[in-house]
Chain A
Amino acid sequence: MFKFLLKRLALTLPTFLALMLLTFLAIRLVPGDPVEVRMGERGIDPVRAEEMRHLLGLDQPIWKQFVDYVWGILHGDFGTSLVTSEKVLTEFAALFPATIELSFFAILFAMVLGIPAGILAAVKRGTVYDHALMGAALTGYSMPIFWWGLLLIMFMSEYLGLTPISGRTDLIRFSVEPITGFMLVDTLIAGDKGAFWDALRHLILPAIVLGTIPLAVIARITRSSMLEVLSEDYVRTARAKGLSPFRVVGLHALRNALIPVVTVIGLQVGTALAGAVLTETIFSWPGVGKWLIESIARRDYPALQGGILLISSIVVLMNLLIDVMYGAINPRIRHGR
């Protein structure tokens, strides 16, 4: 197991290096001089510009710049925002909990509804339930979530007045000390019940929107995995023994059917992080997705560069984690490589 872990870890190292090269080169390809961008429209005197260039290391040969970039990242320096002059890592770390909170509840929502829906469709295969559920799944899978979000705001918030329109909490009514950055945890630590419910109400719509595509994917994979397992010999044996259908499906079949589902759920983390860009923009959710889009609008390239590198690294690490976990659950994978 340890060997397997080391091997998988070694395989991801080139990916990280390539990610650094990608973000490094991408920003170099952006038209316009970084010094001029920083100095604004009015321009500055050439001596000062030369100083800036030196300060930013732009007078060095390109390979040296890359080595410095990698060196900086290895020491936790992901660059400095051009707009706020704040360290990119600091800004990212402050906003990331909001994105995690949102993504976590989105995936949770997707699992809680998606797995039972998939099981029901598989057990009732070919019936109206199956067709209705799979039709809904196809629609969810095809959903432009930015539009879906606006529809939900229109209906739930504007028309029914059930949920707030945007943000993480009502800033006027509640102020909670950000300790962990997770609003639900922070409000509980502060012992403010009102603020907790308010934060939860703010979370509902964004989590539904972000969870829609994962929900559809999970329902589809659960159904097909369940159908496969239901035709296995041991399920027939369990049925023949006279076990109740509930026990057969819930105990014998489900356990084995869930293995591919776990993998798919892991893969949805990447989808959720990408979808967070859209969802956070719609709901003014102060996470890294919205920050990334704003960085583009502000031409804050170091923030964009660092942000994309950080998000991608997290996805790579998540995939590694899932792979390792999968190897732990399923010995066939571990020894097969």
Chain B
Amino acid sequence: MADSVLAPAPVALPTAGGSPPRPLAAFWYAFRENRGAVVALGIVVAIVLLAALADFVAPFPPAEQHREAVRVAPFWAEGGSTRFLLGTDDLGRDILSRVIYGARISLFIGLSVMLISVACGIVLGLIAAFRGGIADTIIMRLMDLITAVPGLVMAILIVAVLGPNLFNTIMAVTIVYLPRYVRLVRASTLGELNKEYVTAARVVGVGTLRLMFVTVLPNCLAPLIVQGALGVSDAILEAAALGFLGLGAQPPTPEWGAMVGDGREFIRSNPWIVTTPGLAILVTVVSINLLGDGLRDALDPKLRRS
């Protein structure tokens, strides 16, 4: 962020004997300049751990209904108990447990959307840049078409056609976010293709596939990683919006957006049913975005937000 620009350039890297620092060490040195990003990294790691260890950490299974304890308040509020730390919902399900299991679903959605769309984006972007001509036109016009429809509206159309469930949510959000990766890969590949090392590789007789994935691609990775990190949080938000509208993960899946949507009618009487899962979305998305900003500052100085 701002102070990282004002800070002295990392001249005195902690290396001995003048040898260049290992890439990871150099990356970490640049990354920790941004304190917000380091904190965010900590939060993201904590959320990932909670998601991974949900079976051990969560007090109850996410769908278990306690019929004798419906809409119990959180422990600090009147009528709350320490048995259900964050209270229960209208079906007597422990909200803390559902939020913890929900981390699993949201992270799964975010990561799978990012991985699939980055993978497809790399392939399509490389084809568009290398082949040019008709292939380029078809791919890019298709991407223009996807961008022409507002993101959520496109996702709604896809889910309405395919039917609402977790898998189709991932499909829909992947399609919505595909164009940005395709464009990014295509643009940075086109930039690389004019450089001498590519010409040299061609002269030596390197095959197209090797040229694409081994010679050129690694040089386009930095902006892609940054965009990918920010893409995870966008995907989580988009999927949560679909869940809220009832077009995403279906009950009793403890998806955060769906939890907010299902609890809507209790916003007056039992607000904690709505506030907790929404707060989980916000904290996760803010942390991933901060982390993405930090990655950008560290990996890609050209893109640095001044």
Contact = CB atoms under 8 A, between A and B. Distances in A.
Contacts of B290: 138
Given A134-B1, A281-B245, A158 B274 contact: no
Interface stretch (A149-157, A169-177, A199-207, A250-258): A149-157
Contact of A144 (B156, B161, B163, B260): B260
Nearest to B277: A147
Contact of B3 (A29, A126, A274): A126
A146 B257 contact: yes
Nearest to A297: B246
Contacts of B157: 23, 26, 304, 308
A147 B148 contact: no
B153 A144 contact: no
A278 interface: yes
B261 A146 contact: yes
B264 A144 contact: no
Interface string A265-280: 0000011011101100
B283 to A, nearest CB: 9
A227 interface: yes
- Chain A interface extent, by class: 35 or more
B46 interface: no
Contact of A277 (B142, B156, B281, B286): B156
Interface string B229-261: 000010001001100110100000000010011
Interface in A117-132: 125-126, 130-131
A316 interface: yes
Interface of B: 1-3, 6, 141-142, 144-145, 148-153, 156-158, 160-161, 163, 233, 237, 240-241, 244-245, 247, 257, 260-261, 264, 267-268, 271, 274-275, 277-278, 281-282, 285-286, 289-290, 293, 305-306
Identify the 8 closest CB pairs spanning chains A and B, nearest first: A147-B278, A274-B150, A142-B285, A274-B152, A312-B149, A142-B286, A146-B244, A144-B281
16 contacts: A14-B141, A15-B144, A19-B149, A26-B157, A29-B161, A134-B2, A142-B285, A144-B244, A146-B260, A147-B260, A147-B274, A220-B305, A292-B153, A296-B160, A296-B247, A304-B157
